[in-house]
Each structure stands twice: as C-alpha cells, then as structure tokens.
C-alpha cells in the first residue's frame, strides 16, 4: 500500500469503518457483496454486474477491492448506485465490524480469495458465499494442501463454485469443496473483451501527436515485468533497421514502476515520453523524435492493444506466471508470449492448439517472431483472427456464473423474494 501510494483515502474501510453516506445507501436494503481484489478481477466483476443487476433490480450491490488501482477502475466502470469500498483487512475485529454494518445476504468472491477470518464470519452467520472464475495454480494448491486442516473447512463452506477448467475443479474438490457445488464454466475473462462504446482514449490521435507516422506499426508490451521493458527496447532498436517506423509502447503491469522503467530506458538511450506527461494541451512532437511511449497510468491498456500491430504479453519472459492474453485476442491481435505462462496454462493451451498465438523461448526467439509478423501482414491478420475465434468459442462463463449465483441465493435466506 505504501509503495503504490494513495492508501490514506478510504483507509478506515480497511478497518471495517464506513462513511455515513455509505451506511445510508445500504440501510434497509438487501445487499449482495462482490469482492474483486484488483484490476483484473474488477473487469470480471463489471461483466457479472451487467448480467446480474437486471435480474435483481431491487438489490443493492456492493463491490470491494484491495488495491487503489482496483478502486480507480471501479469508479470508472460502475454506476454510482453500486457501492464501492475497500476490503477489510483479515483481522477478526475488522471483519466482524464490516459484516455487521453491511449485513450481506450473499457474498461473491472473484478468483481464489481465501481469507480465514472473513470466511469464518460468513459461515458463522450462514451467509451464502460463492467462489467464481476460480483457478488454483500448482503453487497455491501445494500451499493449501500443506495447511489442509485449516483450509478444508473454508472450501467446504462455499454455496457454489465456478472453476475455469476440469483440472481446477478436481483440485477444488481435493481441497474440500463439495463435489455437488463445483461447476466448470471456463474463464469469465473470455467475455466482454470488446472496446466499450464510451471511448476514453484515442490512441491513433495520441501517437500522431507524438510524431509517429500515420499507419506506423505499434509494438505493444502489455503488463510487462522487470527486465522485459529493456528487452523490448533493445529488440525494437534492432528491428527499426528493417522496420524504420516501428514505435514501441510499454505498459508495465504496475504503474508505480514507471520511474524505474524510465531510468532503465534512459540508460539505453531510448527516446521516450511518459503517458502521464501528455495532456490535451501538449504540443505536437516532430515526426520521428520519439522511439517509445511509457504508459505509467492505469486502465488504458486495451486502447493501446486495439491499435497494436503486434502484442507481447508480459511476465512471460523474465518472470514466471504470464499475464492474460484474452483481451488482445478478442481484438484480433497478433500475440507473442514467452515460455512462462503457468498462471494461464489452460488458456495458453487453447491458443497454441489453434495456431492463435506464438510462444518463444528467449529474446532471440521474440525478436524473430516479431520481425516475421511485421514483415507479413497476412500472417498477422490470420493469427489475430484465429485468436478472436478462440475467444468467441469460449464465451458464456459470465452467464453461467450468474445462473449459479441466482440458484444459490434463492435456496438460501432470500427465498423467492426476487
């Protein structure tokens, strides 16, 4: 919290203390509480609410998040009538105070958010609670197994569970979930990948103001981690010998790394500008005066993906785990990622099996793959179209998840009321 900044605002909510305005908004209302830890989970939460809200118009929806970036996205993407709060820190007193104030009729946890005191509180109050879009990595599975005597009770208490794959479902049952409440719905991230009608950023206009020639290919490094920005900057410099108009856009996974990345680019002699330094009154730059745009803001990655010629998925080359490739795939973009996509193993397999993405082993392989794609427009288009087809064939998890939630709350305390 200290590293990311902005933590003082709303800090009382992390202790289970809420404003009078929030208390009045939920007074005498039946509340469904959804929790989305950060930006990725917030995007799923927004999709769930779009489907859930029309079905339960008389309920009050409250969404919590853990990070300041997550809160920023909640305010951007959800209407004012949806309550927005910070998740309480998992101390018994804070959790007890939060539950006593909000008195939720049901709780929806997005992905594997297993906090003991919070789940104890839900179970003690017999509040229906759901785990959705759940993926259990090998590392998490081993950790839960190590403390199975503690976590088994928590997993057993869920009213409904939506797993991303059969493999995840099997692990959840092994950890203690009731086999009868575990469902395989696929990933909710396949839903809602398009650009919304309300366009918050015109990337084409922005890059032209930066002196990038119209129609110049953009190489977008999305959700990059330490070391990957330097690799992309190096190979982009070499590739400009063959593709002189190539422009690099770097979007670090954590915006607070902007200064660190900028220092590294400066040492390489890369001519770059920070996204935060560009405003509506920023004068146009001379054509060819910049090599790179460093995006140190949040919530704009999808707009850069939309204009990309080639997309590199971060945390897959110098770090392990990978980031989500579905958003650029839904926009029919040519996608390249490194060897470490373990956090999205099932999704990665779908793309590779359908020739919808390219996986490389190292920097040399990444440079070669990007060079080939920049040189062959037909190949770029074919790869992007295959990626979009994979997304389209796997849509529907959000709708199935909402049906599970509705079924669960109607058999709980909220009897036939809605």
For the stretch 124-144, pLDDT in tens is: 999 999 999 999 988 889 999
pLDDT digits (tens, 9 = 90+) for 141-197: 999 999 988 899 999 999 999 999 999 999 999 999 999 999 999 999 999 776 665
Q: Give residue for tokens 């509506």.
A: 280
Per-residue tokens: 112: 């594997």
pLDDT tens digits, one per residue of 62-121: 999 999 889 999 999 999 999 999 999 999 999 999 999 999 999 999 997 889 999 999
The model's confidence at residue 198, banded by pLDDT at 50, 70 and 90, is: low
Is it the case that residue 199 has pLDDT exceeding 90? no
Cα–Cα distance measured from residue 117 to residue 299, given in angstroms and rounded to the nearest whole number? 31
Q: What pairs with residue 136 in β-bridges?
A: none
For the chain, what percent of residues have pLDDT higher than 70?
A: 96
The predicted-structure confidence for 200-240, as pLDDT tens digits, reads as follows 799 999 999 999 999 999 999 999 999 999 999 999 999 99
Instruction: Quote the pLDDT of residue 343.
Output: 86
The closest alpha carbon to 313, from 387, 397, 246, belongs to 387
Strand, coil or helix: 365:
helix
Alpha carbon dihedral 233, 234, 236, 240, in 10-degree steps, equals 130
Q: What's the mean per-residue pLDDT of the chain? A: 93
pLDDT digits (tens, 9 = 90+) for 14-23: 999 999 999 9
Q: Which of 395, 404, 398, 405 has the alpha carbon at shortest distance from 61?
A: 405
Residue 84 CB partners (closer than 8 Å, separation 6+): 62, 63, 64, 65, 71, 74, 75, 78
Burial class (CB in 10 A: 0-12, 13-18, 19+), 221: buried
Mean pLDDT of the 288-297 span: 96
Task: State mean pLDDT over 249-257.
Answer: 94
pLDDT at 418 over 60: no
**Confidence label for 414 from pLDDT (cuts 50, 70 and 90):** very low
Domains of the chain: 11-192+396-410 (3.40.50.11720), 203-393 (3.40.50.2000)
Label residue 273 by pLDDT band (50, 70, 90): very high
The angle formed by the CA atoms of residues 387, 327 and 114, to the nearest 5 degrees, is 120
Give the pLDDT mean for 262-268.
97
Spatial neighbors of 359 by CB under 8 A, at least 6 apart, are 336, 337, 338, 339, 341, 348, 352
Apex 390 CA angle, 364 and 336, nearest 5: 10
């Amino acid at each position: 919290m200290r590293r990311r900044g902005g933590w003082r605002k709303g800090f009382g909510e992390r202790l289970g203390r809420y404003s009078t305005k929030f208390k009045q908004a939920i007074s005498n209302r039946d509340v469904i509480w959804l929790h989305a830890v950060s930006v990725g989970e917030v995007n799923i939460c927004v999709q769930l609410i779009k489907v859930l809200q029309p079905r339960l118009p008389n309920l009050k929806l409250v969404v919590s998040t853990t990070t300041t970036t997550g809160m920023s996205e909640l305010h951007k993407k959800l209407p004012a009538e949806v309550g927005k709060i910070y998740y309480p820190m998992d101390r018994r007193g804070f959790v007890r105070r939060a539950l006593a104030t909000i008195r939720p009729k049901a709780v929806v946890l997005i992905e594997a958010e297993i906090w003991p005191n919070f789940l104890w509180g839900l179970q003690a109050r017999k509040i229906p609670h759901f785990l959705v879009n759940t993926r259990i990595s090998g590392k998490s599975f081993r950790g839960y197994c190590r403390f199975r005597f503690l976590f088994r009770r928590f997993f057993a208490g869920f009213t409904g569970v939506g797993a991303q794959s059969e493999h995840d479902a099997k692990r959840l049952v092994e950890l203690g979930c009731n086999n009868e409440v575990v469902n395989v719905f696929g990933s909710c991230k396949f839903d809602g990948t398009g650009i919304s009608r309300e366009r918050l950023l015109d990337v084409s206009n922005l890059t032209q103001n930066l002196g990038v020639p119209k129609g110049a290919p953009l190489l977008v490094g999305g959700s990059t981690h330490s070391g990957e920005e330097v690799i992309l900057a190096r190979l982009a410099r070499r590739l400009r010998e063959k593709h002189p108009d190539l422009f690099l856009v770097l979007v670090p996974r954590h915006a607070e790394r902007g200064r660190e990345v900028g220092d590294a680019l400066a040492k390489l002699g890369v001519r770059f500008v920070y996204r935060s330094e560009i405003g509506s009154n920023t004068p146009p730059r001379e054509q060819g005066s910049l090599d790179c745009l460093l995006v140190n803001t949040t919530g704009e990655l999808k707009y850069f993906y939309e204009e990309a010629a080639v997309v590199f998925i971060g945390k897959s080359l110098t770090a392990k785990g990978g980031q989500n490739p579905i958003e650029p795939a839904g926009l029919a973009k040519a996608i390249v990622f490194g060897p470490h996509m373990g956090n999205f193993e099932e999704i990665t397999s779908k793309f590779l099996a359908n020739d919808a993405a390219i996986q490389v082993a190292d920097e040399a392989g990444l440079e070669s793959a990007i060079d080939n794609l920049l040189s062959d427009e037909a190949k770029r288009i074919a790869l992007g179209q295959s990626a979009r087809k994979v997304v389209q064939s796997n849509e529907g998890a959000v709708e199935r998840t909402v049906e599970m939630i509705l079924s669960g709350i109607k058999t709980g305390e909220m009897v036939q009321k809605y």
